Amino acid sequence: MNISEVILCKYGEVVLKGANRQSFESSLIKELRRRASPHGSFKIYFKQSIVYIEPQDEFCDMDGMYETAKKVFGFMGVTRAAVCEKNMDAIKELARAYLPEKLAGVRTFKVDAKRADKRFPLKSPEISAEIGGVILSAVRGIKVDVRSPEVVVGVEIRDDYAYVRAGQEPGAGGLPPRSSGRGLLLLSGGIDSPVAGCMMAKRGMEIEALHFESFPYTSERAREKVMQLAEEMCEFCSRIHVHVISLTHIQEVLRDNCKEDYFTILLRIFMMRLAERCAREYKCHALITGESLGQVASQTLSAIGVTDSVVNIPVFRPCIGMDKNEIVIEARKYGTFETSILPFEDCCTVFTPRHPKTQPKLSEVMAELEKIDVEALLDEAYQTLQTETKLVYPEYR
């Protein structure tokens, strides 16, 4: 039997969007079409809350397209399914030919049938029973378990065709790319900030990134590490412009003129001020950081209050209530963990105070800043800004 296989991507929150739903669906289709081009020629369209990805010739890379679809935010589930005409004989024949290989080594299953086309003569329980019988006769050693099966076999009767699948994998979830505005991520070389960026991208935000370097105190390898992290994030975020600003002179001035225990919070204030300027220039409407409450000296409640007071745009901290182990789990999921732990320093490790201030008062911090020409230092640092573009595929230029 000649089997035609397609990829089905099922919506998550998009189904709740009411009058705005069409714009979300269009964003998903555009994203998939961009990402599909390296894998061959595919027809991609949506119908009845499902996006269909159909190969147009035998040269299409279905495996590559399937892995790509699982990384597109906006889908709750992704599966490969075989297609046939909408009659019970054809569905049973397809199940007999398609499912044994998919169920090899599986001990238990159940069949979940959905009849989107109510004109189909059999009801869902009847379809499930008939396909279950086919599987029991075609797959040796397998049993039905309706409560906790190893694999759920799906049979879907839709407007045009019937679809048979063995299992479904989780999609990336969230909202479609670029459906929630643009944010500027403060991207360090650590574990937390790439996770924060991916988490906001999951909420539909387009990500720009800002990295602070301190050459020659930090090395070229440290900068390369950050660029590699940005490339890895592109597997989910599609495209990231990485802006780089040098903090070297600011750090030297702080070292020479301000109290050592205030160094961390003062440097953080400069970062936030520069990030806000960069965000406004590149039309970002929020800053994103990887801060987790209480993790380090600059992430206490008092310190966060001080740094928030110097900017006038929202600051999103998606990791704020997560512990380190939870953040590591997310970093592994997004593929950034192994790069994040490479032993190359970042600017926050330069001139680190022995006893950083953990409960800073705004008045005391401002008194330290009065010792230096803050605006001149900000202007000088901003002139060092350079930008690199990281892409998942060339089509994103």
pLDDT tens-digit profile of 301-345?
999 999 999 999 999 999 999 999 999 999 999 999 999 999 877
CA atoms of 210 and 54, how far apart (whole Å): 38
CA dihedral defined by 386, 390, 323, 213, rounded to 10 degrees?
A: -20
Angle at 267 between CA 264 and CA 273, to 5 degrees: 140
**How long is the chain?**
397
pLDDT digits (tens, 9 = 90+) for 358-385: 898 999 999 999 999 999 999 999 999 9
Instruction: Determine what percent of the chain is predicted with pLDDT higher than 70.
Output: 97
- pLDDT value of residue 17: 79
pLDDT classification of 298: cutoffs 50, 70, 90: confident
Tokens for 80? 């490969």
The single-letter DSSP state of residue 288 is E
Domains of the chain: 4-170 (3.30.2130.30), 182-396 (3.40.50.620)
The single-letter DSSP state of residue 175 is B
pLDDT at 282 over 90: yes
- pLDDT value of residue 347: 64
CA atoms of 196 and 209, how far apart (whole Å): 11
Q: What is the mean pLDDT of residues 271-296?
A: 96
Are 110 and 144 in contact by the 8 Å Cβ rule? The answer is yes
| Residue of 393 and 294 predicted with greater confidence | 294
- pLDDT value of residue 212: 95
pLDDT classification of 97: cutoffs 50, 70, 90: very high
- pLDDT value of residue 217: 86
- pLDDT value of residue 159: 87
pLDDT at 151 over 70: yes
pLDDT at 350 over 80: no
219-to-241, 295, 345 alpha-carbon distances in Å: 21, 25, 8
- pLDDT value of residue 328: 97
Largest CA distance in the chain: 84
pLDDT digits (tens, 9 = 90+) for 43-72: 999 887 899 999 999 999 999 999 999 999
pLDDT digits (tens, 9 = 90+) for 15-24: 777 778 888 8
pLDDT at 397 over 80: no
| 364 CB-near residues (< 8 Å, 6+ apart) | 262
CA atoms of 241 and 239, how far apart (whole Å): 7
pLDDT digits (tens, 9 = 90+) for 212-267: 999 888 888 999 999 999 999 999 998 999 999 999 999 999 999 999 999 999 99
pLDDT classification of 166: cutoffs 50, 70, 90: very high
CA atoms of 234 and 231, how far apart (whole Å): 5
pLDDT classification of 396: cutoffs 50, 70, 90: low
- pLDDT value of residue 15: 75
| Residue of 347 and 201 predicted with greater confidence | 201
CA atoms of 307 and 103, how far apart (whole Å): 55
Per-residue b or e along 126-154, where b marks 16 or more CB atoms closer than 10 Å to that residue's CB: ebbebbbebbeebbeebeeeeeebebebb
Tokens for 305? 């209050």
CA atoms of 118 and 16, how far apart (whole Å): 23
Q: Give φ, ψ of 64 to 5 degrees.
A: -65, -40
Q: What is the mean pLDDT of residues 112-117?
A: 93
Establish how many alpha carbons lie within 13 A of residue 275's alpha carbon, considering only the half-sphere containing its beta carbon: 31
pLDDT classification of 349: cutoffs 50, 70, 90: low
- pLDDT value of residue 377: 97
- pLDDT value of residue 348: 66
DSSP 5-38: EEEEEEESGGGG-GGGHHHHHHHHHHHHHHHHGG
- pLDDT value of residue 296: 84
Are 152 and 109 in contact by the 8 Å Cβ rule? The answer is yes
CA atoms of 389 and 282, how far apart (whole Å): 13
28-to-69, 177, 384 alpha-carbon distances in Å: 10, 7, 37
pLDDT at 77 over 70: yes
Report yes or no on whether pTM surpasses 0.85: yes
